[in-house]
Amino acid sequence: MQSYQEMSREELLKEKTALEAAYRKYAKSGLKLDMSRGKPSAEQLDLSMEMMNVLNSNTDLSCEDGTDCRNYGVLDGIQEAKVLLGDMIECHPDNIIIYGNSSLNIMYDTVSRSMTHGVMGNTPWCKLDKVKFLCPVPGYDRHFSITEYFGIEMINVPMLSTGPDMDIVEDLVSKDEAIKAIWCVPKYSNPQGITYSDETVRRFARLKPAARDFRIYWDNAYGVHHLYDIDQDNLVEILAECKRAGNPDMVYKFCSTSKISFPGSGVAAIAASANNLVEIRKQLQIATIGHDKVNQLRHVRFFKDIYGMTEHMRKHADILRPKFEMIIETFERELEGKGAGTWIAPKGGYFIAFEALEGCAKSIVAKAKKAGVTMTPAGAPYPYGKDPTDSTIRIAPTYPTLDDLKIATDIFVICVKLVTIEKVLE
């Protein structure tokens, strides 16, 4: 196949005319499609409806140690929920504190506490002239919103196919005491679907930061969100690796069941070293008498154990796989070899990232919008919403039906081609 760059002006103009006709047809049909929302479809949420039946007014709401879940108490979360979430993120239950429903909320709280009270006896960040976070890009916009909200300077670090560029990470953290943390989505990353390689994780665990209170914010949001039974990515467990490397306190690991059970009504947790947990509990006991134990119990009784959860995730995968595969197949059929952009076929997670030609992302998203397809705003996966090369577009295949997604993908591809041709013709 000839790329647009190799085509003559006449060939490009001819192709453009045909694409414009197809585009106009779609634009006239008044479609309203959405490829921007990284949330489960109703069909996926239906998978967990049985959870509504595992507890009722006749249910004994005592947990295994006899605690009455209806009452106050148990700051850390009930033991059986710690075991379930511990298995989910491959950590010992003793290293876990269960919170409410949202892991993002725990991350916010962790940054907030570090600002006001510091990390393990170090100066509170609010008293420092400068606090900086490393931000692998493209990344999760809501991470960047938290750091922006607190006035923390964000430094972009490019993502490679193996995870963040560790040469840059090692260099920056070893030199600059103002760098206090790095945001990471280490498995099936948002938005590229990249899983950090073994070497990347080992290099993380062996960082030698200038800041004594440097922490890795390890957001394991998609740890069990595989699309395939056999062909799965594996991630080295960071807490154990940090311990092995003599840096046991350097990582906070976050997780939730948001995209396993119900976003908004799941169970979220932090895993960290004993020292970190002592500090976290000090704050937590002021903030709450305990989180929602009934919901924790409901989750445990529904999933039973990690095997139940794995089985449940297979059902999610059965719904998601055709959506991801349709998009990748469409890209391969329509865009491969055209010089119009690149993509990675993820083996899990919630997103596909399309890398358009430099300077094209905003125009593609705007064009798609005019034809009735909403995409995540271009720039969103970067700190301050600024994509320095205006090239990344996040695609969220999970929420629409497969039929809607097919039309939305066709329109997206037409927009990519049109904007690319316009760029080449410039």
Residue 114, Cβ density class (10 Å: 0-12 exposed, 13-18 middle, ≥19 buried): buried
Nearer to ligand PLP, 102 or 247 (CB): 102
Nearer to ligand PLP, 195 or 420 (CB): 195
Q: Could you tell me the smallest distance in angstroms from the CB atom of residue 359 to ligand PLP?
A: 27
Q: Are strands 215-219 and 341-343 parallel, antiparallel or unpaired?
A: unpaired
Q: Could you tell me the smallest distance in angstroms from the CB atom of residue 203 to ligand PLP?
A: 21
Residues in the chain: 426
Q: Cis peptide before 400, with omega less than 30 degrees from 0?
A: no
- Four-point Cα dihedral 8, 11, 16, 22, nearest 10: -150
The H-assigned helical ranges of 6-151 are: 9-28, 42-46, 79-89, 103-117, 141-149
Nearer to ligand PLP, 104 or 368 (CB): 104
Q: Could you tell me the smallest distance in angstroms from the CB atom of residue 142 to ligand PLP?
A: 7
Nearer to ligand PLP, 16 or 259 (CB): 259
Residue 129, Cβ density class (10 Å: 0-12 exposed, 13-18 middle, ≥19 buried): exposed
CA-to-CA distance for 83 and 60, rounded, in angstroms? Answer: 20
Q: How far from each other are the two terminal CA atoms of the chain, in whole angstroms?
A: 22
Q: Cis peptide before 40, with omega less than 30 degrees from 0?
A: no
User: Which secondary-structure segment (H or E) carries 136?
Assistant: strand 132-137
Residue 15, Cβ density class (10 Å: 0-12 exposed, 13-18 middle, ≥19 buried): middle
Q: Is 412 helix (H, G, I), strand (E, B) or coil?
A: helix
CA-to-CA distance for 184 and 137, rounded, in angstroms? Answer: 10
Nearer to ligand PLP, 7 or 96 (CB): 96
Q: Could you tell me the smallest distance in angstroms from the CB atom of residue 141 to ligand PLP?
A: 9
User: Which secondary-structure segment (H or E) carries 154?
Assistant: strand 153-160
Q: Could you tell me the smallest distance in angstroms from the CB atom of residue 296 to ligand PLP?
A: 14
The torsion angles phi and psi of 76, rounded to 5 degrees, stand at -80, -15
Q: Which two tokens stand for residue 371?
A: 């034809």
User: Can you name the residues that pair with 270 across neighbouring β-strands?
Assistant: 97, 254
Q: Could you tell me the smallest distance in angstroms from the CB atom of residue 371 to ligand PLP?
A: 26
Q: Could you tell me the smallest distance in angstroms from the CB atom of residue 25 to ligand PLP?
A: 34
Tokens 């490397």, residue? 245
Nearer to ligand PLP, 173 or 268 (CB): 268
Nearer to ligand PLP, 40 or 372 (CB): 40
Q: Could you tell me the smallest distance in angstroms from the CB atom of residue 265 to ligand PLP?
A: 10
Query: Which positions lie near ligand PLP, rule CB under 6 A?
Result: 38, 102-104, 140, 185, 190, 219, 221, 256, 258, 263, 268
Nearer to ligand PLP, 38 or 164 (CB): 38
Q: Which two tokens stand for residue 167?
A: 């040469």
Q: Could you tell me the smallest distance in angstroms from the CB atom of residue 311 to ligand PLP?
A: 21
Nearer to ligand PLP, 135 or 221 (CB): 221
User: Which secondary-structure segment (H or E) carries 98?
Assistant: strand 96-98
Nearer to ligand PLP, 263 or 308 (CB): 263
Q: Could you tell me the smallest distance in angstroms from the CB atom of residue 219 to ligand PLP?
A: 5
